[in-house]
Amino acid sequence: MTARTDLAAHLASLALPQALSQTLTAAAAACVEIRKIVSGGALVGALGASGVVNVQDEEQKKLDVISNDVLTDMLLACPAVAGVASEEMDTVQPATNPTGEYLVLFDPLDGSSNIDINAPVGTIVSVLKAPSATPTEADFLQSGRHQVAALYAVYGGQTMLVLTTGQGVAGFTLSHDGQWLMTHERITVPADTKEFAINMSNQRHWAESVQRYIDGCLQGADGPRGKNFNMRWVAAMVADVHRILMRGGVFLYPWDKREPNKPGKLRLMYEGNPMAFLIEQAGGKATTDGKQAILDVTPTELHQRIPVALGSANEVDQIAAA
């Protein structure tokens, strides 16, 4: 068997600042621990609701809380981390590390609705440079273009870690002995696709432009697009985006009129920015509406929401033209 590059060797080959390598290593190690808990499920008492409503006004699952604690503890213990922010926490948590250089934002367990049915879930991480070793909430409000790294782990049939530091996208698979081994050296998203991912049950609530785009896809070869499409929907952004990175496609989570004052459901800082960084680095496009790049959005609050349309570049352009 050919020897594979492990995560540590890959990070070394990128000639990253030591502190950034330490930060990414700590995040990857936390994902290994979360995987152990996810795989235990009911056997370790990790299923079901926690009985707590988070800052997003959503009922937390037990695994949301456990995963958040694992990431928070392991990252704050890393001397390179100046502070963390999480989808599951009200505000930021500064570290006590006087040498901390990086801020880490994360969705500790994306796809909570999948937890109790043993469907794919994952962890999403974004890394920013810290303006100071004693960061405030305002220091986290940097646009996605300022990210120095992003990664996600998807806990499925295999556990994979997908990473960018602005030098392309690489994928690693977790071995039986707990090592992240490179299995996908340079991931690219095909420019064209015949696959889309969206929650069709919300169709009646979408803006007209989104309805026109999806209607064109559904008409298949007989419609204006002149080709047949397949629809996929895993109900976990991390799993749907992973599929796009592996074989192309588009993912949409648009604004809808049920909550007209909310621009979208997904969170800019914990989901939109890191996934957009990964998609762009793989040659795709990541936008709010087919037009505005997610990475160019100026954040105004920690838990800001946005609409999302990302994936194969030419198909994202079709969304913009609808």
Alpha-carbon radius of gyration of the chain = 19
Q: Does domain 195-321 have CATH number 3.40.190.80?
A: yes
Angle at 274 between CA 141 and CA 276, to 5 degrees: 110
Binding residues for Mg(2+), as ranges, are: 87, 107, 109-110, 271
Are 92 and 84 in contact by the 8 Å Cβ rule? The answer is yes
Digit-coded pLDDT (tens) for 68-104: 999 999 999 999 999 999 999 999 999 988 889 999 9
| Half-sphere exposure in the Cβ direction for 123 (13 Å, CA) | 33
CB of 75 within 8 A of CB of 103?
no
pLDDT in tens, 185-231: 999 999 999 999 999 999 999 999 999 999 999 999 999 999 999 99
What pTM was computed for the model?
A: 0.95
7-184 and 195-321 share one CATH topology?
no
Q: What is the bridge-based pairing of β-strands 102-110 and 81-86?
A: parallel
Cβ neighbors of 176 (< 8 A, separation 6 or more) are none
Question: Annotated binding site: which residue ranges?
Answer: 87, 107, 109-113, 199, 265, 271
Name the CATH topology of 7-184. Answer: Fructose-1,6-Bisphosphatase; Chain A, domain 1 (3.30.540)
**Which residue positions form the known binding site for substrate?**
110-113, 199, 265
Count the alpha carbons within 13 Å of 99 in the hemisphere toward its beta carbon: 9
Give yes or no for a contact between 48 and 61, defined as CB atoms under 8 angstroms apart. yes
The answer to whether the beta carbons of residues 277 and 245 sit under 8 Å apart is no
Which tens digits make up the pLDDT trace of 13-57? 999 999 999 999 999 999 999 999 999 888 777 777 755 666 666
The domains of the chain are located at 7-184, 195-321
